[in-house]
């Protein structure tokens, strides 16, 4: 009996051990499944890599690591996304819109990602948004600038967590007006594609409102990636306008400044750049003093002094050997923090399960959340397009610190430089900014 009992006990013991092992394995498997997979798409090669793509990736690396360790400050101190460990899959955006559509399908259908956060190129954003919608999969556009995404279409599963390009140009002209910058005449140089043309249109329309007497002189549209701006610089020099405006970025902007500086056009005209914070560290003392620049938000050296920004700016800089975060790093961060807020909001109402795309979309609509660059509000495009505060400042090279600093910074509330809901950006500017709240 006792033997039997012993045997039975052994059997029971073995069974219990076996069951425990199976349970452990199953638990492990369940735990392994309990991740939140994100496809992250950003330029890792090509012309936009150095300026935007790689800083965005570095931003993602830093924030995901912090979130997975539960090391981010409140309200983002819960591990991962609501306890789900974040698992990124990073894809290169280089290669054109057709390739990006294929990659997006791969991410959703083969990699089974729960959401995609990506896209810097406006053309890529315009191409992938309808595909995510067709597949009924959650997509966050984190950087691209064209207002057309939600002004020409409406989506359920697609969101953009950063303001579009209109605010950059409205804020620039408002800054010039508030500083009484003389602009009896102005010249423009913009890349000949969607971003350059949209920016040019917005800036000219805003100037027509704020400087109605201003005369547009040289209006140059060099090809993307020209590299050689000697002729354009001659044309700008000949025009001799009070202001030279540009939405050039990355290598094009760097080449323009390197070539324009020795030719004296920045002494002759006030340089006004809609997106330039990302070239300051690289250009150093080659960047002209006194240039009026935007960063496409209140980012980098123009970011607000908050606990969130101190955490991000210092942590990122430390992780990147002293290189501080710029526009794309901030925009990636605000997309990931917004996704975290949406996931946790959806989990709070579905009993703590990983949310579906429908639940995520419902949670993200009209959402507001804090970021290192300030408050993000999903106010436009039926709650799918963000507005945010904006900052503009002037450059000065600090020889002692061997870096370009930004001074005389002015901040603009989101509702001062973004159109109201249900109004197209250009119509809003041409109507004289109805409803703008600037105080």
- Please report, as ranges, the residues that interact with another protein according to CB under 8 A: 44-47, 49-50, 54, 192, 218-223, 225-228, 230-232, 234-235, 237-238, 240, 251, 254-255, 258-259, 262-264, 282-283, 286
Give the shortest CB-360-to-another protein separation in angstroms.
32
Half-sphere exposure of 407 (CA within 13 A, CB side): 8
3-class SS of residue 239:
helix
Give the shortest CB-228-to-another protein separation in angstroms.
6
For another protein, the closer CB: 230 or 435:
230
Give the shortest CB-49-to-another protein separation in angstroms.
5
Q: Is the peptide bond before 75 cis (omega within 30 degrees of 0)?
A: yes
CA dihedral (62, 67, 69, 72) positive or negative: positive
For another protein, the closer CB: 262 or 290:
262
CA dihedral (351, 337, 52, 223) positive or negative: positive
Give the shortest CB-189-to-another protein separation in angstroms.
9
- Cα(53)–Cα(55) distance, integer angstroms: 6
Give the shortest CB-224-to-another protein separation in angstroms.
8
Give the shortest CB-30-to-another protein separation in angstroms.
40
For the chain, the farthest-separated pair of C-alpha atoms sits apart, in whole angstroms, at 109
For another protein, the closer CB: 282 or 362:
282
For another protein, the closer CB: 49 or 86:
49
Instruction: Give DSSP secondary structure letters for 338-373.
Output: HHHHHHHHHHHHHTSPPPPHHHHHHHHTT-EEEETT
Burial 196-209 (b: 16+ CB within 10 A, else e): bebbbbbbbbbbbb
> Within 10 A of 326 (CB to CB), how many other CB atoms are there?
27
Closest Cα partner for 142 from 414, 388, 421, 419? 388
Closest Cα partner for 354 from 33, 1, 24, 29? 33
- Cα(144)–Cα(415) distance, integer angstroms: 20
Give the shortest CB-263-to-another protein separation in angstroms.
5
For another protein, the closer CB: 224 or 311:
224
For another protein, the closer CB: 264 or 352:
264
Give the shortest CB-222-to-another protein separation in angstroms.
6
For another protein, the closer CB: 130 or 230:
230
For another protein, the closer CB: 79 or 282:
282
């Amino acid at each position: 009996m006792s033997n039997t009992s012993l045997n039975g006990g052994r059997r029971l013991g073995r069974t219990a051990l076996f069951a425990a092992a199976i349970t452990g394995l199953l638990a492990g498997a369940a735990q392994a499944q309990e991740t939140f997979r994100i496809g992250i798409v950003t330029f890792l090669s090509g012309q936009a890599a150095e300026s935007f793509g790689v800083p965005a990736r570095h931003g993602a690396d830093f924030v995901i690591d912090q979130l997975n360790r539960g090391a981010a400050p409140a309200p983002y101190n819960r591990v991962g996304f609501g306890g789900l460990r974040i698992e990124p899959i990073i894809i290169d955006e280089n290669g054109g819109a057709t390739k990006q559509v294929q990659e997006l399908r791969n991410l959703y259908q083969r990699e089974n990602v729960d959401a995609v956060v990506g896209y810097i190129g406006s053309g890529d954003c315009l191409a992938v948004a309808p595909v995510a919608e067709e597949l009924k999969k959650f997509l966050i556009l984190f950087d691209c600038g064209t207002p057309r995404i939600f002004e020409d279409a409406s989506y359920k599963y697609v969101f953009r967590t950063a303001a579009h390009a209109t605010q950059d140009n409205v804020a620039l002209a408002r800054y010039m007006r508030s500083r009484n910058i003389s602009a009896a005449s102005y010249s423009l140089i913009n890349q000949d594609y969607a971003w350059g043309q949209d920016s040019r249109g917005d800036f000219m329309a805003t100037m027509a409102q704020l400087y109605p007497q201003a005369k547009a002189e040289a209006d140059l549209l060099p090809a993307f990636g020209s590299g050689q701006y000697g002729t354009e610089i001659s044309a700008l020099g000949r025009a001799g306008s009070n202001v030279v405006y540009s939405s050039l970025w990355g290598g094009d902007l760097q080449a323009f400044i390197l070539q324009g500086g020795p030719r004296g056009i920045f002494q002759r005209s006030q340089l006004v750049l809609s997106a330039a914070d990302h070239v300051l560290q690289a250009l150093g003392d080659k960047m002209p003093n006194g240039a009026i620049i935007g960063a496409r938000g209140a980012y980098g050296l123009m970011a607000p002094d908050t606990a969130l920004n101190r955490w991000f700016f210092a942590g990122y800089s430390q992780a990147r050997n002293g290189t501080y975060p710029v526009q794309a790093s901030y925009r990636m961060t605000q997309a990931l923090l917004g996704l975290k807020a949406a996931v946790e909001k959806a989990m709070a109402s579905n009993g703590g399960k990983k949310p579906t795309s429908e639940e995520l979309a419902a949670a993200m609509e009209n959402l507001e959340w804090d970021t290192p660059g300030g408050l993000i509000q999903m106010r436009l495009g039926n709650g799918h397009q963000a507005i945010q505060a904006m900052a503009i400042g002037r450059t000065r090279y600090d020889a002692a610190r061997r870096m370009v600093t930004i001074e005389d910074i002015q901040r603009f509330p989101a509702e001062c430089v973004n159109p109201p809901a249900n109004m197209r950006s250009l119509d809003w500017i041409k109507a004289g900014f109805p409803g703008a709240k600037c105080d």
